[in-house]
């Protein structure tokens, strides 16, 4: 029996990389998966068990409309995995513009708020003991050069996870964050392939190489499964040991 037979799962950012692996993993376990992404074409495009919806997670009206549409098409939403984000470095702190700052915060942090609120409010209204899983980063814990907007947005997701988990625990809804280390995806592969970054990863990741999107999908399946029913308000770090070492 597939582990998530007929469960309704929303995956934001599911058109690429980690989100696509998460969407495929749930679909292969029997779930009805709705992918919300700016890359998806407008309108619903059924693809196997995966339906695709165009949605900018930073736009409140678009998020509410997409969640209503998914509910109408698939039924009550039981699981959210929020992966959508803009990645990358944005330059020295003292040269940052408000526009750049807002691009990361609006998509990554406000997007996480809007998607998790949309899921949680519907779960509470329908009495669904659901799962909210937010994808943060090792940058939720530690920053790096030129990364202030991205790391701030990911640090915010860590506290959003904790705050939401407290308010939603009484409804049987769990809220957790997955913190990936370097994972080879369309957003990162080119950078990881440069000799400089490859050597850095070999040095700072005890496992010696980037992880795979499937590693994050496996963590999402665990946090959505009955095995993790008493796990809430916490972080599952999937980083090949990167955060475990202080010097590298
Ligand atoms: N790849 C890594 O090394 C790594 C490490 C740590 C954390 N993460 C996190 O994992 C998640 C996925 O990253 P990835 O590497 O798969 O990136 P990716 O670029 O391959 O996928 C991100 C997806 O989000 C979508 N997206 C971007 N802005 C959006 C918006 N406003 N509304 C809806 N969708 C939007 C993109 O279209 C894309 O499909 C992100 O949250 C990222 O911060 C990735």
Question: What is the predicted pLDDT for the residue at 247?
Answer: 74
Question: What is the predicted pLDDT for the residue at 131?
Answer: 98
Which is nearest to 181 in space by CA: 8, 9, 18?
Answer: 18
Catalytic entry in 53, 104, 150, 171: 150
Question: What is the predicted pLDDT for the residue at 224?
Answer: 98
| 243 CB near ligand 1 (under 6 Å) | no
Q: Which of 52, 60, 65, 87 to mutate to test the pocket of ligand 1 (most atoms within 8 A of CB)?
A: 87
| 185 CB near ligand 1 (under 6 Å) | yes
Q: Ligand 1 mean position to 82 CA, how many Å? A: 9
Residue 120 CA to residue 126 CA, distance in Å, equals: 10
Shortest-distance Cα residue to atom 20 of ligand 1: 17
How far is CA 224 from each of CA 92, 132, 141, rounded to the nearest angstrom? 38, 8, 23
Question: What is the predicted pLDDT for the residue at 175?
Answer: 99
Q: Ligand 1 mean position to 127 CA, how many Å? A: 30
Alpha helices in the chain (DSSP H): 17-28, 60-74, 98-104, 111-126, 148-168, 189-192, 195-204, 213-224
- The two beta strands, 174-180 and 79-82, are unpaired
Residue with tokens 């050069």, as numbered in its chain = 145
Shortest-distance Cα residue to atom 36 of ligand 1: 13
| 182 CB near ligand 1 (under 6 Å) | yes
Q: What domains are there in the chain, each with its CATH number?
A: 8-182+215-240 (3.40.50.720)
| 17 CB near ligand 1 (under 6 Å) | yes
| 86 CB near ligand 1 (under 6 Å) | yes
- Is 150 annotated as catalytic? yes
pLDDT per residue as tens, the chain (248 positions):
899 999 999 999 999 999 999 999 999 999 999 999 999 655 555 556 799 999 999 999 999 999 999 999 999 999 999 999 999 999 999 999 999 999 999 999 999 999 999 999 999 999 999 999 999 999 999 999 999 999 999 999 999 999 999 999 999 999 999 999 999 999 999 999 999 999 999 999 999 999 999 999 999 999 999 999 999 999 999 999 999 998 76
| 240 CB near ligand 1 (under 6 Å) | no
Q: HEC string of 145-209?
A: CCCHHHHHHHHHHHHHHHHHHHHHHHHCCEEEEEEECCECCCCCHHHHCCHHHHHHHHHHCCCCC
Residue with tokens 């940052």, as numbered in its chain = 96
Question: What is the predicted pLDDT for the residue at 49?
Answer: 78
Residue 127 CA to residue 131 CA, distance in Å, equals: 12
Which is nearest to 18 in space by CA: 207, 178, 216?
Answer: 216
Q: Which of 11, 12, 13, 40 to mutate to test the pocket of ligand 1 (most atoms within 8 A of CB)?
A: 13
Helix or strand or coil: residue 81?
strand
């Amino acid at each position: 029996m597939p582990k998530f037979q007929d469960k309704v799962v929303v995956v934001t950012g599911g058109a690429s990389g980690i989100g696509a692996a998460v969407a495929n993993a749930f679909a292969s376990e029997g779930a009805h998966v709705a992918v919300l992404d700016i890359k998806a074409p407008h309108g619903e495009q059924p693809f196997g068990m995966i339906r695709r919806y165009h949605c900018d997670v930073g736009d409140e009206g678009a998020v509410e409309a997409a969640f209503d549409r998914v509910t109408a098409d698939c039924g009550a939403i039981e699981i959210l995995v929020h992966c959508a984000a803009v990645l990358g470095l944005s330059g020295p702190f003292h040269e940052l513009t408000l526009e750049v700052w807002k691009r990361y915060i609006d998509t990554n942090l406000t997007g996480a708020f809007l998607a998790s609120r949309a899921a949680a409010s519907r779960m509470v209204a329908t009495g669904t003991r659901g799962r909210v899983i937010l994808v943060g980063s090792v940058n939720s814990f530690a920053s790096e050069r030129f990364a202030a907007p991205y790391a701030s947005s990911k640090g915010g997701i860590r506290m959003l996870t904790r705050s939401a988990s407290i308010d939603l625990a009484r409804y049987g809804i769990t809220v957790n964050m997955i913190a990936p280390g370097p994972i080879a995806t369309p957003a990162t592969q080119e950078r990881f392939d440069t000799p400089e970054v490859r050597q850095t990863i070999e040095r700072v990741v005890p496992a010696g190489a980037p992880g795979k999107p499937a590693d994050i999908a496996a963590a999402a399946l665990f946090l959505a499964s009955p095995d993790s029913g008493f796990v809430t308000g916490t972080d599952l770090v999937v980083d090949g040991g990167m955060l475990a070492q202080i010097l590298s």
